[in-house]
Amino acid sequence: MYPPSALSLPEMPRHYRPGLDVVRLAALLPVLCYHYCIEAARLGFAVPTALLGRGMADWVELGLAWFFLLSGAALCLQWQGRFALRRYLAGRAAATYPAFWLGFAALFLYGEVLHGNNAGIPRWRVIFSLLGLDGYLTPVTVTFYKIGEWFLGVILILYLVFPLLLWCIETPPRRRALAVCMAVLAIVWPLICPAPWEAGHTVLGRLPAFALGVWFGSLLQQNAAPPKWLVAGLLALPLLRVTAVPRLAVLLAVAAVLFWAVYAAGQQMPARFCPALRRLAGWCYGVYLVHHVLLTLVFLRFVARFNLPLAGMFPVYLAVSFALAAVLTAVSRPLGKAIKKLA
C-alpha cells in the first residue's frame, strides 16, 4: 500500500496508484520517439536505421499494448461494482471529446475554412470527425482527419464494448469463455485482417489487450497479485523470429508481463513526486492529440530552418508537446464539465 502521507497531499485521490501513471507515461514515450524519427527521416534528416527498424516498431507496439491494457484496467477500477450506463457514457464523452473537438476545430478552421483545403470532400463527412472516427476510417474512406489518428476511433468503440467485458469478468465461467475468445482473436485476426486495414489499427486487433486490461483492473481492485503463470508470456519472445506467428499476439503476451513490472516499480514512487506525476499523466491524452501535427507542421521545419541538432531537440519537442497539451486540457475542461452534467 502507498504511505499514508501520500494520501494527504493536495489534490491526491485517496486510492491513487502512481504505478498506473508511470505505465501511462512509459507507454507514450516510444510513440513520440518513433514519430519523431520517422517524420524526421521523411524530411531528409539523417536518422540512424536502428531507430527506424523492427526493434523500434516492436518497442512502439509494447507501448500501444500498454495503452490498451491500462485503459481497460483503469475503467474496471473506476466502474466495477458501481456501473451506471448513463454516467459511464457521459464520463467517457467528457474525458475524450472536448480536447479533440477543440483541436480539430482549430485545424479545420485554419486549413479548410481559411485556406480552402480539401474543397473536394463533401462537408457532411465532418460527422466522422465529430464522432472521433475520422482517423480510424481514413484507410477506407475520405475524411477530414486532422488529429487523434486511428487510436481515438479504436478506443471510442472499445468504450462501447466495455460494459460487456465488465459483465464477462464477473464470474469464473464467463471469464474463462472470454479468455478463450480473446486468445483465439489475438492469434487469428492478424492473419485474416482485410486490406487496407492494419490489424493493430483495428478494434478487433486491440480488443484482446483491452479485455486483458479489464481483468487486470479487477485484480488491482482486489489488491491481488497477478497469477504466476503470466510470467510465461516472456517465453513467447523467441516466437518473434517465427514469421508465421503474429507479432501482435507475441508482443501483447510480453507487454502483459512488463505492465506489472512497470506498475510495481511505479508504486514505489516517493510521495512528494506524486502530484507532479499525476499532472503529467493527466496531459498524456492531450499530448497524443497534438504531438504529430506539432511535429510535422511546426517543429521539424523549425529544426531544419535553423540547422539545430535533431537529437538535442527531442527533449524540447517533449516539453513543447506537454505544454500544448496542458493548454488544450485546461481550455477544454469547462466543456467536459458541461457534458458530465448531462448524466
Q: Are 111 and 71 in contact (CB under 8 A)?
A: no
pTM of the complete model beyond 0.85:
yes
* Closest CA relative to residue 210, chosen from 247, 157, 174, 246: 157
Please check whether residue 146 is in contact with residue 134, taking contact to mean a CB–CB distance below 8 angstroms. Answer: yes
Phi, psi at 73, each rounded to 5°: -65, -45
**pLDDT confidence band for 90 (50 / 70 / 90):** very high
Quick one: pLDDT at residue 30? 97
Grid cell for residue 68: 490498451
Cα(317)–Cα(319) distance, rounded to whole angstroms?
A: 5
pLDDT for the residue numbered 343: 74
**pLDDT tens figures, 206-241:** 999 999 999 999 999 999 999 998 999 999 999 999
How would you class 118 by CB atoms within 10 Å of its CB: exposed for 0-12, middle for 13-18, buried for 19 or more? middle
Sign of CA dihedral 110, 113, 118, 121: positive
Cell numbers 493536495: residue:
10
What are the cell numbers at 122? 463533401
The per-residue pLDDT for 133 is 97
State residue 12's pLDDT score. Answer: 66
Tell whether the model's pLDDT for residue 2 goes beyond 60. no
User: Residue 9 pLDDT > 50, yes or no?
Assistant: no
Which grid coordinates belong to 31? 510513440
Q: How many CB atoms lie within 10 A of CB 105?
A: 14
What pLDDT does residue 342 have? 85
Cell numbers at residue 204, please? 478487433
More confident residue, 27 or 1: 27
The alpha carbon of 300 is separated from its chain's Cα centroid by a whole number of angstroms, namely 23
Please give the grid coordinates belonging to residue 243: 514469421
Distances (CA, A) of 106 to 111, 185, 271: 9, 39, 38
- Name the residue type at position 191: L
Nearest C-alpha neighbor of 128 from the set 111, 161, 153: 153
Please give the DSSP secondary-structure letter assigned to residue 299.
Answer: I
Please report, rounded to a whole number, the percentage of residues in the chain having pLDDT higher than 70.
96
Please say whether the beta carbons of 211 and 178 come within 8 A. Answer: yes
Amino acid at residue number 293:
V
CB of 294 within 8 A of CB of 36? no
304, three cell numbers:
531544419
Give the distance between the most distant pair of CA atoms in the chain: 62
Digit-coded pLDDT (tens) for 134-193: 999 999 999 999 999 999 999 999 999 999 999 999 999 999 999 999 999 999 999 999
DSSP-assigned letter for residue 125: G
Compare 50 and 326 and report the one with higher pLDDT: 326
Q: Tell me the pLDDT band of 11, cut-offs 50, 70 and 90.
A: low
* 294-308 pLDDT tens trace: 999 999 999 999 999
